[in-house]
Amino acid sequence: MRTAQSRRLYPPSWSYPAFILWLECGYAVALRLTTGLPWTTSTWQAAICLAAIGPLLLAVMNVVAGPKVLGRLPAAAFHVLRHVGGLGEFAIPWLGWAALIRIMNAGDLRWIAAFRSAGAIAVFSYLTGAALLLRFRPTAADVEVTEVTIDLPNLPRSFDGYRILHISDIHCRTLLPAQRVAERLLPAGSLHPDLIVFTGDLSDESPLRLETAAEALSALTAPDGIVAVMGNHDIWSGEARFVKAMAHHGIKLLVNDHLTLSRDGAQLHIAGVNDASYTEKADLAAALNGVPDGSKVILLSHAPAIMRDPLAQRASLVLSGHTHGGQVVLPGIGPIYVPSRLGRRYSSGLFRIGQTQLFITRGLGEVVPPLRINCPPEMAVLTLRAGGEVCAPSFINSRMHPSASAATPKGVPPKVR
């Protein structure tokens, strides 16, 4: 695995307690200035509680986004969560802070003062957040090229050594325009893959960046071309527009469909499903329809949640993105939030699930806050090897959730069809 040239996304370990101390001091000063309350132990107690609200919210989000709860919600519930969630990110901390300040100072403070105080704390928090964005915003120099060798039993000999460049989650937007995307894609020029696969989420912000992002992606070349599937953001940006842009730039888009690669008379099938996350448009049965029994299949799915479908066991290898590796990964804790119905432990890396293998890339861009901590942007080169042990994991990503160190994850359908 090649490491990033820049170490700026890897803060020293002392910076975490320093960050908490910074928040608590800032909150205590904001409380003191806006309420006029004396410097007492309770002011500091209140500051500590206020600083705890953020991590608490993230913990709740991880439970909600986990396979036990989120996995059972219907598609309509996701749309509600998506639209209400954006507002909630701002309103809930403010209301929570105001309520805490009022409760902890019930005798001395009116509600209006509590809201004013919470507003000051919010401003302090957002200024701190802006400083973090400036410090931890990735650049092209931070892109890591991950090289993984994957043993696939019964892979035709003619595909032994076949190289797939896996790119995902570019998220081209105002904060990451096409020119910056092209810079992040530069390492791909020297990788010489046989095939390039893109597993979705090309742009954000509706169709504004779609064309230029597709142009940057289509500039990459490989003998077997570029194959793509749609992500949730591609669908939200306008499915028909995305289909048109892919066709216009010569990128083969698989929408619950497959294609067949041939070498010396042997075949390898590349199947691709539509988004299996929030939009629930994946139809794996349709994607595999017509694939001969016993033939080798590599499945592309934006969301790793496709592994919940027992039919996914028909593939020898599944390639996914969507998780961004969590984007913010704390030592000893792992990624603080992973938007996946498969659960937080499947944030990035190679996993054995039942009789198939799943590779999840951290992706090339960022979603929501344009920052990454201990989780650099990534493109992966996967070299397929014929033979080897049945689905033996050959690589485990060190940045995933600590509990994922087990070689064979549980809780996913082991049934083989």
Q: How far is the CB of 310 from Fe ion (least distance, A)?
A: 23
Q: How far is the CB of 75 from Fe ion (least distance, A)?
A: 15
Burial 377-408 (b: 16+ CB within 10 A, else e): bbbbbbebbbeeeebebebebebbbeebeeee
Burial 146-169 (b: 16+ CB within 10 A, else e): bebebbbeebbebbeebbbbbbbb
d(CA 263, CA 109): 76
**Residue whose C-alpha is closest to residue 149's, from 139, 163, 138, 167:** 163
Structure tokens belonging to residue 262: 């041939």
**Residue whose C-alpha is closest to residue 172's, from 214, 235, 131, 230:** 214
Who contacts 370 (Cβ-Cβ below 8 Å, separation ≥6)?
A: 133, 137, 138, 175, 176
d(CA 72, CA 64): 10
Q: How far is the CB of 305 from Fe ion (least distance, A)?
A: 10
**Residue whose C-alpha is closest to residue 323's, from 306, 338, 345, 302:** 338
Q: How far is the CB of 227 from Fe ion (least distance, A)?
A: 18
Who contacts 166 (Cβ-Cβ below 8 Å, separation ≥6)?
A: 197, 199, 319, 359, 361, 379, 380, 381, 382
Q: How far is the CB of 343 from Fe ion (least distance, A)?
A: 16
DSSP state for residue 9 in the 8-state scheme: T
Q: How far is the CB of 163 from Fe ion (least distance, A)?
A: 25
Nearer to Fe ion, 27 or 78 (CB): 78
Nearer to Fe ion, 231 or 354 (CB): 231
Nearer to Fe ion, 199 or 374 (CB): 199
Nearer to Fe ion, 304 or 334 (CB): 304
d(CA 387, CA 401): 29
Q: How far is the CB of 253 from Fe ion (least distance, A)?
A: 16
Residue 36, number of CB atoms within 10 A of its CB:
11
CA dihedral 328, 370, 62, 120 (to 10 degrees): 100
Nearer to Fe ion, 120 or 229 (CB): 229
Nearer to Fe ion, 194 or 204 (CB): 204
Nearer to Fe ion, 78 or 159 (CB): 78
- Which residue has the closest beta carbon to Fe ion? 322
d(CA 282, CA 275): 5
Q: Which residues bind Fe ion (CB under 5 A)?
A: 201, 231-232, 322
Q: How far is the CB of 267 from Fe ion (least distance, A)?
A: 30
Q: How far is the CB of 277 from Fe ion (least distance, A)?
A: 6
The answer to whether 288 touches 181, Cβ cutoff 8 Å, is no
Nearer to Fe ion, 117 or 340 (CB): 340
Structure tokens belonging to residue 194: 């046989």
Nearer to Fe ion, 26 or 231 (CB): 231
Nearer to Fe ion, 296 or 302 (CB): 302
Q: How far is the CB of 375 from Fe ion (least distance, A)?
A: 15
Coil vs helix vs strand at 263: strand
